[in-house]
């Protein structure tokens, strides 16, 4: 069957690579894709932007695409699923109504409060003075969040009152995030360890993915500004069996049931960003309505099940009849980013060493690169994700780090401590 995948980043590279491994797929079109994605077997890229729903649907009709799958959040929040369905096309993802869970942090917080889903205390503001008054009544650290989509960059973890005040002033009065920051959520800081809990949902049933964890801060030791993610690994040992059950019972199932009861069933990848405290209590830090980037890169390396079968079962509402299996190995991916990221990006710098990293056994997923003649050059903030499997997380990390050491361009930045928490939990040799 012919599958259409929407997106162009490292997550979509990993999804295309995995979809192509299925015996059921004959062709995968990726819109708009990238040069690196197109180099995968069965894959061709089509030059249609992810916000041009009419052109995407026309393409899906003309090419008799069996189903479409969406990588990034923006088209989902903007209603691509509703549009495709109105044209009689099969597509995997949440409706615009369900995608608000990611599209509006205020919606997500109100939703959790209404349905008793554990999360940080919060308040929402449009007025700078009221927001500042609230900050002064509550002790730092506080977390300031732009309501709308901001590519993972609209969150400030404010260690002091002044940083919190500066953040709300910049979002509300100076509109640094445009409309996305015209409404601001201020919430309690949750201490603990983060993990990503992703489930495939068909509206009623769910199938949990293997656990994973990403590193959102730019710099080592989880310091520096927040980014879209600087590296990720799977499994995340912080999610033990009892926390898994707690998350399923107190967070995932109530979320799915609430959408179903509201008449807007959630279909697609439900990504719950968790904070797990010292007492093993898990709370929701954020919801996303799609696969994580870069979590998808190590997850797809570990997925043993046929990805196309899982997608079809989701669209057909038959996830209760599916099982999902994962490699016993661990996987870890390190993002190679522009030195200027997250504030800026790198364009046109020649990248060397990708083939050497491949030769070591790494898989290099591309997020922001392009071909220029025979050269691969930088073309984004996050550029590559060097991903490796290993018998445990330490071995996966060692191989990914070796792969990173082979690759370079002028200004390249990456963290050398991805996975440190999981490594620390391993028994010492
Ligand atoms: P979000 O986009 O909501 O996931 O926030 C980005 C990152 O900010 C999260 O991955 C956390 O590292 C951090 N963060 C967000 N909310 C909180 C919170 N309430 N307490 C502690 N850290 C948080
Ligand atoms: N890795 C975090 C995200 O995809 O939002």
Q: What's the gap in Å between 287 CA and the centre of ligand 2?
A: 10
The three-state secondary structure class of 3 is strand
- In whole numbers, what is the pLDDT of the chain averaged over residues? 95
Confidence (pLDDT) at 113: 97
For the chain, the maximum distance between any two Cα atoms, rounded to a whole number of angstroms, is 60
Residues making up the chain, counted from first to last = 429
* Cα 158 from chain centroid (whole Å): 23
Residue in 308, 321, 317, 339 with CA at minimum distance from that of residue 409? 339
d(CA 402, CA 383): 17
Give the side-chain half-sphere CA count within 13 A for 25: 27
Q: Is the CB of residue 182 less than 8 Å from the CB of residue 145?
A: no
Whole-prediction pTM: 0.95
d(CA 29, CA 37): 10
Residue 344 CB burial class (10 angstroms; 0-12, 13-18, ≥19): exposed
Number of neighbours of residue 90 by Cβ within 10 angstroms: 16
Confidence (pLDDT) at 300: 98
Confidence (pLDDT) at 148: 81
Dihedral angle over CA of 32, 37, 43, 49, nearest 10: 0
Residue in 365, 240, 392, 192 with CA at minimum distance from that of residue 291? 365
Q: What's the gap in Å between 424 CA and the centre of ligand 1?
A: 22
For the stretch 362-374, pLDDT in tens is 999 999 999 999 9
Ligand 2: does its nearest atom lie under 6 Å from the Cβ of 295? Answer: yes
The ligand that comes nearest to the alpha carbon of residue 196 is 2
Ligand 1 atom having least distance to the Cα of 191: 21
Ligand 2: does its nearest atom lie under 6 Å from the Cβ of 292? Answer: yes
What does each of the 429 residues of the chain score in pLDDT, given as a tens digit?
A: 999 999 999 999 999 999 999 999 999 999 999 999 999 999 999 999 999 999 999 999 999 999 999 999 999 999 999 999 999 999 999 999 999 999 999 999 999 999 999 999 999 999 999 999 999 999 899 999 988 887 666 888 999 999 999 999 988 877 777 776 678 999 999 999 999 999 999 999 999 999 999 999 999 999 998 888 999 999 999 999 999 999 999 999 999 999 999 999 999 999 999 999 999 999 999 999 999 999 999 999 999 999 999 999 999 999 999 999 999 999 999 999 999 999 999 999 999 999 999 999 999 999 999 999 999 999 999 999 999 999 999 999 999 999 999 999 999 999 999 999 889 888 776
For the stretch 17-29, pLDDT in tens is 999 999 999 999 9
Q: Strands of 114-192 (E only): list them.
A: 122-125, 142-146, 155-158, 184-188
Number of neighbours of residue 210 by Cβ within 10 angstroms: 21
Ligand 1: does its nearest atom lie under 6 Å from the Cβ of 108? Answer: no
Q: Which residues contact 291 (CB under 8 A, 6 or more apart)?
A: 11, 15, 71, 198, 269, 271, 299
Q: What's the gap in Å between 145 CA and the centre of ligand 1?
A: 9
Q: What's the gap in Å between 98 CA and the centre of ligand 2?
A: 18
Ligand 2 atom having least distance to the Cα of 286: 5
The residue whose C-alpha atom lies closest to atom 5 belonging to ligand 2 is 292
Dihedral angle over CA of 359, 365, 369, 371, nearest 10: 50
Beta strand 142-146 with 155-158 is antiparallel
Beta strand 369-372 with 375-380 is antiparallel
For the stretch 164-216, pLDDT in tens is 999 999 888 777 777 766 789 999 999 999 999 999 999 999 999 999 999 99
Q: What's the gap in Å between 343 CA and the centre of ligand 1?
A: 18
Confidence (pLDDT) at 191: 96
Confidence (pLDDT) at 348: 97
Give the side-chain half-sphere CA count within 13 A for 44: 6
């Amino acid at each position: 069957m012919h599958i259409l995948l929407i997106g162009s980043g490292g997550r979509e590279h990993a999804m295309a690579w995995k979809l192509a491994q299925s015996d059921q797929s004959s062709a995968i079109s990726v819109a708009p894709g990238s040069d690196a994605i197109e180099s995968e077997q069965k894959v061709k890229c089509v030059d249609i932007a992810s916000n041009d729903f009419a052109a995407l649907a026309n393409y899906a009709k003309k090419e008799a695409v069996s189903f479409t799958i969406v990588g990034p959040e923006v088209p989902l929040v903007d209603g691509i699923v509703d549009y495709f369905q109105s044209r009689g096309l099969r597509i995997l993802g949440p409706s615009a109504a369900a995608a608000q869970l990611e599209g509006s942090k205020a919606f997500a917080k109100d939703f959790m409060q209404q349905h008793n889903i554990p999360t940080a205390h919060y308040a929402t503001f449009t007025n700078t003075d009221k927001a500042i008054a609230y900050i002064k009544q509550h002790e730092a650290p506080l977390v300031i969040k732009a309501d709308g989509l901001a590519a993972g960059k609209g969150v400030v973890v404010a260690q002091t009152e002044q940083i919190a005040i500066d953040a709300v002033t910049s979002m509300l009065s100076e509109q640094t995030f445009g409309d996305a920051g015209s409404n601001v959520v201020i919430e309690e800081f949750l201490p603990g360890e983060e993990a990503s809990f992703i489930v495939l949902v068909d509206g009623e049933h769910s199938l949990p993915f293997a656990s994973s964890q990403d590193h959102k801060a730019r710099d080592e030791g989880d310091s520096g500004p927040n980014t879209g993610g600087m590296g990720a690994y799977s499994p995340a040992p912080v999610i033990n069996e009892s926390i898994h059950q707690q998350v399923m019972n107190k967070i995932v199932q109530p979320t799915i049931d609430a959408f179903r009861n509201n008449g807007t069933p959630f279909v697609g990848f439900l990504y719950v960003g968790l904070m797990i405290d010292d007492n093993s209590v898990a709370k929701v830090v954020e919801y996303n309505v799609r696969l994580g980037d870069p979590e998808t890169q190590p997850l797809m390396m570990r997925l043993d099940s046929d990805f196309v079968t899982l997608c079809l079962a989701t669209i057909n509402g038959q996830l209760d009849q599916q099982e999902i299996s994962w490699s016993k190995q661990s996987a870890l991916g390190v993002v190679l980013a522009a030195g200027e990221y997250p504030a800026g990006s790198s364009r046109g710098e020649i990248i060397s060493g990708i083939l050497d990293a491949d030769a070591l056994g790494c898989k290099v997923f591309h997020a922001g690169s392009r071909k220029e003649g025979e050269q691969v050059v930088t073309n984004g903030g996050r550029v590559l994700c060097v991903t490796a499997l290993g018998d445990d997380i330490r071995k996966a990390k060692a191989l990914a780090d070796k792969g990173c050491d082979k690759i370079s361009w002028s200004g390249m930045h990456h963290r050398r401590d991805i996975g440190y928490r999981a490594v620390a939990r391993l028994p010492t040799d």
